[in-house]
Amino acid sequence: MSNVLAFDLGASSGRALLGRLVGGKIEVEELHRFPNDPVQVGDRLHWDILRLYHEIKQGLLKAKHHGIELQSMAIDSWAVDFGFIGKNGELVGNPYHYRDRHTDGAMESLFAEIPPSVIFARTGIQFLPFNTIYQLYALKQAKSPLLNEGNRFLMIPDLLRYFLTGQIHNEFTNATTTQLYNPIEKSWDAELLRMLELPKSWFGDVLQPGAKAGNLQASVCEELGIGSIPVYAVAEHDTGSAVAAVPATEGSFAYLSCGTWSLMGTEVDKPVLHDLAQKLNFTNEGGVADTYRLLKNIMGLWVLQECRREWDREGKSYSFPELVQMAGAAKPFASFIDPDDSEFLPPGDMPSRIADYCRKTGQEPPKTVGEFVRCILESLALKYRYVFELTERLSVQRFNGLHMVGGGIQNELLCQWTANAIGKPVLAGPSEGSAIGNLAVQWIAQGEFADIWEARRVIRESFPIKIYEPEERDDWGRAYDRFRILTGLAE
């Protein structure tokens, strides 16, 4: 029996998932789950990276206490964020959270020095204000001491691997999200680093998913009372791991990784770098098996999560199933938002911002909790159709349906409304896509699976897939036309 451990870190929580291969199928067991709360210090918003490291060690201890002998472990997380290791080998400062406001205006300021067309042609990455390139530029503009003290640049899984193994490596799927990696040259882009005056020495060798990144170092083994195990670099951007777990049967497929963020796209052999891809603000992020993920970020369930937090602060606590039930009972197609409007990116009073958006676009704002939730979920489903059609256009493909993976598939109303919106079946599952993709790449590295397609076949046979057939096509078609006009997405 091959026991491997996947640490899957999301923007709000993390988990340690034990994977076993039993009788040709995958069995998973959650050993440890923990919150991942950002920390506000003064005006800055940080990740609590040392708490995350502590929780990873707790996951390893729980495996030990269950009497589990591990063959390997790996970590995946969100993208773009990073920390620096100093000359003494220690972490310099706490990594900033991508929602911190220090990047406000940085993207636009950088465009005055380097045209967007140059950046896209060299990296193929969509323009998001929190991308790593703009975070680093903002630090330079602020003359941050981090830049003087830092010696090596490591992204979140890179940092945690370094704490565990003492080995410094960058990983491919996460490196591509920085907007500093050149997919044609297959290396950090030396010209962009020169124009930004960033030292090339900060950016190290880039490991492909499946490469061994080291072993648990002696100090960790001694502290936890465990033996050393291999630590692999998987698709360490969690979307890369989620796409690895898509149970597709054919090479041409569309996917939606649905959680705090939604990411929709398809898998391609080469990055799509032409002008239309830049105009539509698509991205080409690294994937497994020398592929790229042609995709677009969509704000996702963040908007609903922030509404729920605000209602909690007001003393009105609702479970997600309660919110979904209230949405189902509310009037359909009463109001729409563009979930990707910049107003919805920061944390804070989300219901007020939704109401303001509706007033600005000539709509009656939602009033009840159910109306707010219905507005969010319907708008998400309609935005999914918009991006789905753009993905077909850019990739010159026609998809028979949409694979949905991730925790968002537990919202069956959203799955059904997505099928209604795109007018094609939605195949939902597995829900723990990122963690399962993490496990799968470890098993490929160990020779348990021949390649990613065998892994996908085993995933398909191991986890239930629920199919949602489209309904009410005419109503959703008319709603889509109104949605595009109200949100300014109509061409």
Nearest C-alpha neighbor of 9 from the set 35, 30, 28: 35
> Closest by alpha carbon to 434, among 240, 303, 248?
240
Check if 238 is active-site: yes
d(CA 324, CA 234): 34
Residue from 8, 100, 189, 238 carrying the catalytic annotation: 238
Residues designated catalytic: 238
